[in-house]
Structure 1
Amino acid sequence: MEIDVVLPCLDEEAALPWVLGRMPDGYRPIVVDNGSTDGSARVAAELGALVVSEPRRGFGAACHAGLLAATGEVVCFMDADASLDPGQLPRVTGPVASGRADLVLGRRVAGPGAAWPLHARLGNAFLGWRLARRTGTRLRDIGPMRACRRADLVALGLTDRRFGYPLEMVLRAAERGWRITETGVDYLPRSGRSKVTGTVRGTLRAVGDMRRVLSGPGGTG
Structure 2
Amino acid sequence: MPRISVIIPAYNEEKSITHVISDIPAELVQEVIVVNNNSSDSTSEVARAAGATVLHEPRPGYGNACLTGIAYTANKPTQEQPDIIVFLDGDYSDYPGELPQVIQPILDGKADLVIGSRVLGQREAGALMPQQIFGNWLATTLLRWLYGVRYTDLGPFRAIRFSTLQQLGMRDRNYGWTVEMQARAAKQKVRYAEVPVNYRKRIGVSKVSGTVKGSVLAGYKIILTIFKLL
TM-score of the aligned structures, taking structure 2 as reference length: 0.91
Q: In the alignment, is residue 154 of structure 1 matched against residue 157 of structure 2?
A: no
Q: In the alignment, is residue 95 of structure 1 matched against residue 108 of structure 2?
A: no
Bigger drift between 76-85 and 148-157 goes to: 148-157
Query: How far has the Cα of 1:168 moved from its partner?
Result: 0.7
Corresponding residue number in structure 1 for 2:76: none
Corresponding residue number in structure 2 for 1:136: 148
Distance 2:144 2:212 in 1: 24
Aligned runs of 1:41-120 on 2, under 5 Å? 41-70=44-73, 71-108=81-118, 109-120=121-132
Q: Letter of the aligned partner of 1:21 in structure 2? A: S
Structure 1's unaligned 5+ residue stretches are none
The one of 25, 28, 33 equivalent to 1:26 is 28
Distance 1:140 1:61 in 2: 25
The one of 137, 140, 156 equivalent to 1:125 is 137
Distance 2:35 2:226 in 1: 26
Distance 2:14 2:212 in 1: 25
Contact 2:115 2:194 in 1 (8 A): yes
SS of corresponding position for 1:186: coil
Structure 2's unaligned 5+ residue stretches are 74-80
Corresponding residue number in structure 1 for 2:5: 4
Corresponding residue number in structure 2 for 1:187: 199
Distance 2:124 2:151 in 1: 23
Q: Letter of the aligned partner of 2:13 in structure 1? A: E
Distance 1:181 1:201 in 2: 32
Contact 1:19 1:80 in 2 (8 A): yes
Distance 1:156 1:50 in 2: 25
Query: How far has the Cα of 1:217 moved from its partner?
Result: 4.5
Distance 1:181 1:197 in 2: 26
Deviation digits for residues 59-94 of structure 1, max 9, x if unmatched?
101011112223311001010100001100111111
SS of corresponding position for 2:198: strand
Distance 1:97 1:55 in 2: 35
Deviation digits for residues 90-136 of structure 1, max 9, x if unmatched?
11111112211111000113433442111111011111111111111
Distance 2:229 2:18 in 1: 42
Q: Letter of the aligned partner of 1:174 in structure 2? A: A
Distance 2:89 2:160 in 1: 16
Bigger drift between 206-215 and 124-133 goes to: 206-215
CA RMSD after TM alignment: 1.2
TM-score of the aligned structures, taking structure 1 as reference length: 0.94
Identity of aligned residues (%): 37
The number of aligned residues is 218
Q: Letter of the aligned partner of 1:46 in structure 2? A: A
Distance 1:112 1:123 in 2: 18
Distance 1:82 1:113 in 2: 15
Deviation digits for residues 126-168 of structure 1, max 9, x if unmatched?
1111111111101111100100111211121111111111111
Contact 1:112 1:188 in 2 (8 A): yes
Corresponding residue number in structure 1 for 2:77: none
